[in-house]
């Protein structure tokens, strides 16, 4: 069974703080993703990575960066958190690059920026 683990389920951070959200998958998947989920907006892609040290921007990359130093780990970084980044963040992975791949999600990280 595929397991995608997000280290923090609930975080409260102050405006201007640097925030790290960590994600680990245990199935040797090539692709990893970070989505943001907001009511009425669905799931929006922030960044994805198809290989170690590779990254590509999604639909809403502004204010975020990512790091993929190891295949199993994909980190989302908020360099200077702002209140409009209060949201639920979902990490996901899929086996291969390209289409026809099932994406598996982590449990989500609820971030509140005050």
Partner 1 sequence: GENVEQHPSTLSVQEGDSAVIKCTYSDSASNYFPWYKQELGKRPQLIIDIRSNVGEKKDQRIAVTLNKTAKHFSLHITETQPEDSAVYFCAAWGGTGANNLFFGTGTRLTVIP
- Please return the burial class of 100, using the count of CB atoms within 10 Å of its CB with bins 0-12, 13-18 and 19+: exposed
Question: Residue 15 or residue 52: which is nearer to partner 1 going by CB?
Answer: 52
Pairing of strands 73-78, 56-57: unpaired
Indicate whether 57 belongs to the interface with partner 1 (CB under 8 A).
Answer: no
Q: For residue 9, what are its two tokens?
A: 């389920």
- State which residue, 14 or 39, has the beta carbon closest to partner 1: 39
Considering the rule CB under 8 A, would residue 59 count as an interface residue with partner 1?
A: yes
Q: Which 9-38 positions form the footprint of partner 1 (CB under 8 A)?
A: 31, 33, 35
| By CB under 8 A, residue 61 contacts partner 1 | no
90, 93, 111, 113: which one binds partner 1 (CB under 8 A)? 90
45 or 77: CB nearest partner 1: 45
Residues forming the site for partner 1 (CB under 8 A): 31, 33, 35, 40-45, 48, 50, 56, 58-59, 90, 97-108
């Amino acid at each position: 069974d595929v397991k995608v683990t997000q280290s923090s389920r609930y975080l409260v951070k102050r405006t201007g703080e640097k925030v790290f959200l960590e994600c680990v998958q245990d199935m040797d998947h090539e692709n990893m993703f970070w989505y943001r989920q907001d009511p009425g907006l669905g799931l929006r892609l922030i960044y994805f990575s198809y290989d170690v040290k590779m990254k590509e921007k999604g639909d809403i990359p502004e204010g975020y960066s990512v790091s993929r130093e190891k295949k199993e780990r994909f980190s989302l970084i908020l360099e200077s958190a702002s209140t409009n980044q209060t949201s639920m963040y979902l990490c996901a992975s899929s086996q291969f690059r390209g289409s026809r791949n099932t994406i598996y999600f982590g449990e989500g990280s609820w971030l509140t920026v005050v």
